[in-house]
Amino acid sequence: MGKVNTAIFHVPVPNRVVSHDPENLRSQSLRDADVHAINARSNFLALIKGVKGAAQEGTNMVDPMMVAAEAYATIGEISDALREVYGEYVRPAYR
């Protein structure tokens, strides 16, 4: 019976340090600021309250979470709203 995967390929891997262009970093910072401005202008707090309300009512939370995410709410911000309703899991201490 023949061996499986007997082929060995030697591919040179370039060893180079990646440097970031200061202009690209500046433009990315401006884009980030634009996203935050959109976030502030939107009805962001109402959307987070929608997630929290769905959690309190026990209804489907997927739609409110998707709407909040589309308004650039972060996973942390959505998670904070859920923590306010459900609390945070604490592993029990065993002896």
In tens, the pLDDT along 18-46 reads: 777 888 878 888 787 777 776 666 678 88
Q: What tens digit of pLDDT does each residue of 41-95 get? A: 667 888 899 999 999 999 999 999 999 988 888 899 899 999 999 999 988 887 6
Dihedral (CA of 39, 40, 46, 49) sign: positive
For residues 28 and 4, give the distance between their C-alpha atoms in angstroms, rounded to a whole number: 47
Q: What is the pTM of this model?
A: 0.55
- Cα 85–Cα 54–Cα 64 angle in degrees, nearest 5: 115
Nearest 10 degrees: Cα torsion 35, 39, 42, 46: 160
